[in-house]
Structure 1
Amino acid sequence: MSTIFEQPTDLLQAVGKHLGFSDWLEIDQQRINLFADATGDHQWIHVDPEKAAAGPFGKTIAHGYLTLSLANLFLPQIMEVRNTSMGVNYGCEKVRFPAAVPVGSRVRGGGEVISAEEVKGGVQVVVRMTIEIEGSERPACIIDTISRFFP
Structure 2
Amino acid sequence: MSQLTISSLQELEAYQGKELGISDYHTITQEQISKFAEATLDYQWIHLDEERTKTETPFGSTIAHGYLTVSLLPYLWGQIVTIGNVKMQVNYEIESLRFNQAVTVNSRVRLHAKMLTVKNLRGIAKTQIEVTLEIENSKKPAYTGIVTFLYHFN
TM range (shorter): over 0.9
**Cα displacement string for residues 4-56 of structure 1 (whole angstroms, at most 9, x for unaligned residues):** 22313321231111111111110010000011111111111111001111122
How many Å separate the matches in 2 of 1:102 and 1:47? 11
Pairs aligned (count): 151
Q: Where in structure 2 are the equivalents of 1:99-110 lying within 5 Å? A: 99-110=101-112
Q: 2:66 — aligned with what? A: 64
How many Å separate the matches in 2 of 1:2 and 1:96? 26
Give yes or no for contact 2:9–2:120 (8 Å, CA) kept in 1: no
Give yes or no for contact 1:9–1:123 (8 Å, CA) kept in 2: no
* Unmatched segments (≥5 aa) in structure 2: none
**Runs of 4+ that moved beyond 6 A:** none
Give the match's secondary structure for 1:87: strand
**Cα displacement string for residues 92-150 of structure 1 (whole angstroms, at most 9, x for unaligned residues):** 11101111101010001010001110113311101111110000000001121110111
Q: Where in structure 2 are the equivalents of 1:89-100 lying within 5 Å? A: 89-100=91-102
How many Å separate the matches in 2 of 1:52 and 1:137? 22
* Unmatched segments (≥5 aa) in structure 1: none
How many Å separate the matches in 2 of 1:82 and 1:31? 29
Q: Where in structure 2 are the equivalents of 1:2-151 lying within 5 Å? A: 2-54=3-55, 55-151=57-153
How many Å separate the matches in 1 of 2:71 and 2:144? 12
How many Å separate the matches in 2 of 1:127 and 1:93? 10
Identity, in percent, stands at 39
